[in-house]
Amino acid sequence: MPWKLKQRQQQWLSEERGTVRKSWGGKTRVALAFPNRYAVGMSNLGFQSVYRDLNRMDDVVCERVFYPEPEDLETVRRNPGCLISVESQRSIQDFHLLFFSIPFENDYVHVVEMLSMAGIPPRVQDRGQIFPLAAAGGVAVFLNPEPLSAFLDFFFIGEAEALLPDFLHVWNRIQGESPSRDELLQCLARDVRGIYVPSFYRAGYADDGTLSSMEPLPGLDVPERVEYRRADLSGVEPCRTAVLTPNTEFSDVHLLEIGRGCGRGCRFCAAGYVYRPVRFHDAVKLLEVSTPLLSKSRRLGLVSAAVSDHPEISGLCDALLDRGGVVSFSSLRADNIPPQMLAAIEASQQHAVAIAPEAGSERLRRVINKNLSMDQIISAVERLTERGILQLKLYFMIGLPEETSEDLEAIVDMTKQIKHHVLKITRGRKRLGTITLSIHSFVPKAFTPFQWVGFAGIRELRERSRWIQKALKKVPNVRVHFDLPKWAYIQALLSRGDRRAGLFIEKTALEGVSWSQALRDVPFNPDFWVMRHRGRDERFPWEVIDHGVKREYLWEEYQRALSGRTTSRCRPEEHCTRCGVCALQR
Ligand code: SF4
C-alpha cells in the first residue's frame, strides 16, 4: 500500500472528532465511498448521515473511502487495488459492500475510476462472486441512475432512513443461504421496495434513437417501476454532522438538517420535486440533538432547502442563541427573513449572506415560479445591509427556458439597483458593501416541469455570460463569477442520458481521455440527449423510477411556465392532491 496515502489518511484521522472505529468480527462490512476529495465529501451532510446511521447498527461496520487527492492520483492509478478505507486502511475488496453516495452527476466518472482503482471490474457483467457488491444512492441517482447502470450492481432509490433498515434486514436474512451474486440481487430487487437492479431491465430503442421500452427481464419477479422511498421525519433523528474535521469548508461547524424538501415549487429545482412533500423536524427534537453538538463546537449550520420556511424557525433561533450557539443558514429566502434570523446572523458576526433571485426580470421569475418581487429583494438587501452584512452574494441562472436578452439586461439592472441601495446605507462607513454575482448555466433536470426542455448550448451561454461580464465590468464593488458552460453541458448529458450515455463515462474514466475527446470518440451524438427538446409523450429513461409526482402535473406546470403563470406553494395540511405525492402519505 503506498505509504504516502496511508500517512495522509492517518493525518486526517488524528485531526477528526467523532470518527467511529469498530471491530470487524462477524459484521457486515460496508465501504462508504464519496466520489470526490476528502474535503468535499466531509462537507456533505448526506454522506455524513449515512456513515452515522450505518455505524449505529450493531451488526454493521462502515468505513469511508474518498477519491484520491491530486498528489496521490497517479500512484493509485498505477497500482490497481490500492484504494483503501480511511478508518482501518484496508483494501476495498475486503468489504462485503461498496456504497457510493453521489450528489453530483459530474462525479460519475470518479465512480468508475474508483471501481478500477479498487481492483473491481468496472462493468457489472465482468464481476465475479468474490467482489463486493457495488451500489449507489444520493440525489443524482434518485433522479436518473441510467448512465451509471452498466457499472453498479444496484441503486438505492430513496432516502437512507427509509431504505437502509429494510435493505439490511433482507441482506442478513439471506446471508445464511450462501446465495450467488445473482440470487442475492434478485432477492433484494424483489423484497426491498426502492432497490433498483438495472441489469434486470432491458431497454428498447425506436428507429429515431428514442427509448421505446424499459421492461423487467422475462421470469423475474421485480417491479415494472421502482418506487422512491420517503422517510417519515417524525420517526427519525435529524441528519447532522457525524465527524468534525478542520480539513473542510465547514471546519468546526456542525450541520443540522431542520427540514427536507421545499414547498415553493420552483420549476427548475430538482430537489424541490424529488424530496416532496416538504417535511420538517420539530423544534423540540432539533434542540435535543443540538445540545451535545454545542458542547463540541458552538457553531451550528442549519440546513434545509428553505430554512426560513420552518414553522418554528424564530423560536429555534432564539433557543439556540440562548444556549450559546453561533448559528448560520444554508440559504435565505428574500421574502421571508424573520427578525430572529437576522439577530442570529448578526450575533454570529457573519458578514456574507447569499440570496437567490435566480432570474433578473419579474417575467422570467414567473416562468420559473420563483415568486419574488423586486421590492422584496430590495427590502431584504436593505435589512441585511443595515445589520452590517456587507458582502452580498446573488445567485442567478442563465439559459433558462423563455429567456431573452431583456432578461439578461434585467440581471444587470437589478445588480445596479441593489448596489445603489447598499452604498446608500454604507456611505460614510469604514467599509462599503460588495456584491458578488454567482451565475450558473441552467441544466434541465429529470422529474421537473423542465424535463422536456433542451440545454441552451455552450456557445450561446458563453455569449450571454460575456455580455453580462462586459455590462458590469466598470461597476465598482461588483464581482461576477460564472460556472463553465462546458461542465454544465456534461452535467446535462449525465442528467438526461439513457444507458448509452455510460459509454462517455467509461471512455473518460478508463481510457484517461478528456471529455472533449470522449464526446468526439463515442459513436453517439451527445446533443441527442443534451440539446433536444422532447415531445410531450416521449418516454424518459428515468421513468423506470416512480417518484409519485404525476407526469400530467409536471406537463401542466411546464405549460403554465410557458404562459408565465405561477403556481401557489404547497399546502399539504389542506389535503392537496395536485401533484399526487401527498396522497401517497395518507
Ligand atoms: S400534493 Fe400538493 S401539497 Fe403535496 S407535494 Fe404535491 S403540490 Fe405539494
Closest CA to 62 of 17, 103, 27: 27
Per-residue pLDDT tens for 76-122? Answer: 998 888 999 999 999 999 999 999 999 999 999 999 999 999 999 99
What are the start and end residues of each CATH 3.80.30.20 domain in the chain?
253-496+548-585
Q: Under CATH, to which class is 3-227 assigned?
A: alpha beta
What pLDDT was estimated at residue 445? 97
Ligand 1: lining residues by beta carbon, under 6 Å: 263, 276-277, 570-572, 576-579, 581-582
CA distance 260 to 554: 20
Of 21-30, 75-84, 434-443, the one with minimum mean pLDDT is 75-84
* Separation in Å, CA 192 to CA 153, 180, 436: 15, 18, 47
Per-residue pLDDT tens for 49-59? Answer: 999 999 999 99
Closest CA to 100 of 80, 81, 120: 120
Q: Is 254 helix (H, G, I), strand (E, B) or coil?
A: strand
Per-residue pLDDT tens for 123-159? Answer: 999 998 899 999 999 999 999 999 999 999 999 999 9
Alpha-carbon dihedral of residues 445, 447, 453, 458, nearest 10 degrees? 10
What is 253-496+548-585's CATH number, 3.30.70.20, 3.80.30.20, 1.10.3720.10, 1.10.940.10?
Answer: 3.80.30.20
What pLDDT was estimated at residue 568? 95
Closest atom, ligand 1, to C-alpha of 571: 3
CA of 225 to the centre of ligand 1 (A): 21
Specify whether the CB–CB gap between 236 and 228 falls below 8 A: no
DSSP states of 480-518: EEE--HHHHHHHHHHHH--GGGHHHHHHHHHH---HHHH
Closest CA to 49 of 164, 163, 160: 160
C-alpha cell of 228?
A: 422512491
What are the start and end residues of each CATH 3.40.50.280 domain in the chain?
3-227
What pLDDT was estimated at residue 313? 96
Instruction: Show the CA angle centred on residue 259, arms to residues 255 and 263, nearest 5°.
Output: 140
DSSP 8-state assignment for residue 178:
-
DSSP states of 510-563: HH---HHHHHHHSSS-THHHHTPPPPTTPPPGGGGEE-S--HHHHHHHHHHHHT
Specify whether the CB–CB gap between 304 and 260 falls below 8 A: yes
pTM score, two decimals?
0.95
**pLDDT of 311 higher than 80:** yes
CA of 160 to the centre of ligand 1 (A): 22
How sure is the predictor about 457, in pLDDT bands with cuts at 50, 70 and 90?
A: very high
Q: What are φ and ψ of residue 251, in 5° steps?
A: -55, 130
What pLDDT was estimated at residue 133? 97
| C-alpha torsion sign, points 449, 451, 454, 456 | positive
CA of 581 to the centre of ligand 1 (A): 6
Closest atom, ligand 1, to C-alpha of 576: 2
CA of 264 to the centre of ligand 1 (A): 10
CA distance 170 to 135: 15
**pLDDT of 1 higher than 70:** no
* HEC-encoded secondary structure of 258-302: CEECCCCCCCCCHHHHHCCCCEECCHHHHHHHHHHHHHHCCEEEE
What pLDDT was estimated at residue 251? 83
